[in-house]
C-alpha cells in the first residue's frame, strides 16, 4: 500500500487530535522559555559602571630653581623615600650657612652672659675704684685747706667754691667706680640671660627652616607608586608651585562609580558589593567606602532616554585582596546589593 493511501486512512477526528496536541506542546515550550527569561531577568541584580582608580600624588616645586637631576622616567615603579628629582641647592646652602653662623653668634653671647665678667675686668674695676678713693682724699684735703684760708680772708669765695666742686666731682667718680665694680661682681641679670636664650632659640628655628628648605629641593616619593607624568627635564628652570611629577599609588586601588539617586536609601557606606570584571568568571568582593553628599550630573556612559535628567552620586568602593592587581582606568561593573 502506498504512503498516500496510508494517510488517507486517518479519519478527521484523529487529525484534529494531533493538531491540538501539537499546539499544546508549542504553547508549553513558549511559556517555558518566557518563564526562564523572566527568572533570569529577576535574578540578575542591577549594576553600575565604573573604573579602577588609585590615589594620585602631585609633587610641586617649593621654589623657583633649576632642575639639576632627574632620576626616574614615566611608567617607572618607585619606592617610598626614593629621590625622584633634585633642584639646584646653591642658594639654599648659602642661606643655611648664614643661619648657622647667626646661631653660633647667639650661643657665644649666651655663654658670655652665663659666665659673667672676666677676672681681668673685675681687677681693672677695683683699680679704678682705688684711684677714685685716692682722688677723693686729695680733694677733701684741698677743700679743707681752702676753707681755712677762706676763713682767714686769704682766699676768696670763688676759690672755696672751686675746691668744693672738685671734692664733689671726686666723690661722684668714686661712687661710679663702686657701682661698676659691683655690677661686674654680681654678674649678668636674669632678664639678660632670658634674652640671650631666646636669641639662641630663634637662631635654631631659623636653621631648622633652612634645613627643611634645603631638604625640600630633593623631591621624594611619599609612597610606593608609579611615575605617571614627568613633563620636565634637566636644565629646565621652573617657577615655584609648578607641578614637577605626578604619581599613582601602587597600593589600595578602589572603584569609582556613579550611584543613581534612586539607590541612595538602599546603598550605604560599609555595604558589601560584587565587582564584575571582564574575563573573570567569579566576582571580586568590594566594600562601599564613601558616597559623596553632593550630586553630580549623569556621566556620558550612563545616559539613556529615561534617566538623562537624573542625578548621580560619586561613590568609592574599596577592592578586596584578590583585585589589588587590577590596572588603573580599567572599566568594570559593580552589582548593587
What are the pLDDT digits (tens) for 210-241?
A: 999 999 999 999 999 999 999 999 999 999 99
Same domain, 301 and 226: no
Same domain, 278 and 243: no
Examine residue 29 and state whether it is found in any structural domain, yes or no. no
Same domain, 79 and 223: yes
Give me the pLDDT at residue 70, please.
96
Examine residue 262 and state whether it is found in any structural domain, yes or no. yes
Give me the pLDDT at residue 115, please.
77
Examine residue 220 and state whether it is found in any structural domain, yes or no. yes
Q: What total of structural domains would you count in the chain?
A: 3
CA distance 174 to 30: 130
Same domain, 291 and 239: no
Examine residue 133 and state whether it is found in any structural domain, yes or no. yes
Examine residue 307 and state whether it is found in any structural domain, yes or no. yes
User: 182, 211, 240 — which closes off a domain?
Assistant: 211
pTM for the predicted model, two decimal places: 0.64
Give me the pLDDT at residue 143, please.
86
Same domain, 218 and 312: no
CATH number at residue 240: 2.40.50.100
Same domain, 137 and 151: yes
Give me the pLDDT at residue 9, please.
40
Same domain, 104 and 178: yes
Give me the pLDDT at residue 80, please.
94
Examine residue 121 and state whether it is found in any structural domain, yes or no. yes
Examine residue 10 and state whether it is found in any structural domain, yes or no. no
Same domain, 156 and 125: yes
User: 230, 249, 268 — which closes off a domain?
Assistant: 249
Mean pLDDT per block of 10 residues along the chain (337 residues) reads 41 54 49 45 70 93 95 94 96 96 94 78 83 88 86 84 88 87 74 90 96 96 94 94 94 90 87 91 92 75 57 89 90 88
Same domain, 225 and 268: no
Examine residue 7 and state whether it is found in any structural domain, yes or no. no
Same domain, 245 and 258: no
CATH number at residue 280: 2.40.30.170
**Cell 661710679, located at residue:** 176
Same domain, 206 and 258: no
User: 198, 232, 249 — which closes off a domain?
Assistant: 249
Same domain, 168 and 100: yes
Give me the pLDDT at residue 22, please.
52
Domain that holds residue 127: 94-211
Amino acid at each position: 500500500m502506498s504512503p498516500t493511501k496510508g494517510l488517507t486512512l486517518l479519519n478527521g477526528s484523529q487529525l484534529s487530535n494531533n493538531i491540538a496536541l501539537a499546539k499544546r506542546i508549542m504553547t508549553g515550550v513558549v511559556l517555558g522559555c518566557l518563564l526562564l527569561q523572566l527568572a533570569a531577568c529577576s535574578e540578575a541584580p542591577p549594576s553600575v559602571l565604573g573604573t579602577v582608580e588609585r590615589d594620585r600624588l602631585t609633587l610641586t616645586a617649593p621654589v623657583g630653581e633649576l632642575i639639576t637631576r632627574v632620576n626616574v622616567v614615566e611608567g617607572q615603579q618607585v619606592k617610598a623615600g626614593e629621590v625622584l628629582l633634585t633642584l639646584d641647592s646653591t642658594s639654599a646652602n648659602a642661606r643655611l650657612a648664614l643661619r648657622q653662623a647667626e646661631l653660633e653668634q647667639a650661643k657665644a653671647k649666651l655663654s658670655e652672659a652665663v659666665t659673667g665678667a672676666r677676672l681681668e675686668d673685675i681687677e681693672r674695676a677695683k683699680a679704678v675704684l682705688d684711684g677714685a678713693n685716692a682722688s677723693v682724699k686729695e680733694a677733701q684735703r684741698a677743700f679743707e685747706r681752702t676753707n681755712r684760708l677762706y676763713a682767714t680772708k686769704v682766699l676768696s669765695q670763688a676759690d672755696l667754691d672751686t675746691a668744693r666742686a672738685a671734692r664733689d666731682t671726686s666723690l661722684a667718680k668714686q661712687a661710679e667706680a663702686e657701682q661698676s665694680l659691683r655690677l661686674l661682681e654680681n654678674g649678668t641679670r636674669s632678664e639678660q640671660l632670658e634674652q640671650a636664650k631666646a636669641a639662641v632659640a630663634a637662631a635654631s628655628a631659623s636653621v631648622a627652616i633652612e634645613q627643611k628648605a634645603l631638604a625640600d629641593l630633593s623631591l621624594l616619593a611619599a609612597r610606593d607608586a608609579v611615575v605617571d607624568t614627568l613633563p620636565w627635564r634637566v636644565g629646565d628652570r621652573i617657577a615655584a608651585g609648578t607641578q614637577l611629577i605626578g604619581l599613582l599609588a601602587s597600593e589600595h586601588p578602589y572603584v569609582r562609580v556613579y550611584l543613581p539617586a534612586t539607590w541612595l536609601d538602599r546603598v550605604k557606606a560599609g555595604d558589601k558589593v560584587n565587582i564584575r570584571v571582564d574575563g573573570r568568571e567569579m566576582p571580586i568582593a568590594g566594600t562601599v567606602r564613601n558616597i559623596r553628599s553632593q550630586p553630580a550630573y549623569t556621566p556620558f556612559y550612563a545616559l539613556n532616554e529615561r534617566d538623562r535628567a537624573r542625578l548621580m552620586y560619586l561613590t568609592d568602593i574599596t577592592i578586596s585582596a584578590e583585585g589589588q592587581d587590577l590596572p588603573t582606568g580599567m572599566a568594570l561593573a559593580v552589582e548593587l546589593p
